[in-house]
């Protein structure tokens, strides 16, 4: 998995009724875009993530 600052991580819910979560990548701590990532969720809290198979990267479009 590779991500850049500004990309979005979409974490799919693992159980019935659990909603997907989105987080913006604010810092890439691994080499060449690899995890771990510092992310900011929609509700404003930040976390350090090493995404698993339930996560998808949505790359930010360059203008």
pLDDT tens string 33-45: 999 999 999 899 9
Q: State the pTM of this model.
A: 0.83
How far is Cα 27 from Cα 19, in angstroms, rounded to an integer?
Answer: 24
2 vs 18, more confident: 2
State how far the Cα of 57 lies from the Cα of 14, in Å rounded to an integer.
17
Structure tokens of 61?
């479009």
Dump strand ranges (E) for 1-63.
8-11, 21-28, 37-41, 46-49, 55-58
pLDDT of residue 62: 61
């Amino acid at each position: 998995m590779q991500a850049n600052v500004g990309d979005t991580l979409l974490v799919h819910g693992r159980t019935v009724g659990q909603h997907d979560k989105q987080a913006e990548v604010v810092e890439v701590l691994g080499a060449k875009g690899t995890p771990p990532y510092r992310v900011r969720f929609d509700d404003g809290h930040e976390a350090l993530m090493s995404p698993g198979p339930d996560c998808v990267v949505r790359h930010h479009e360059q203008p």
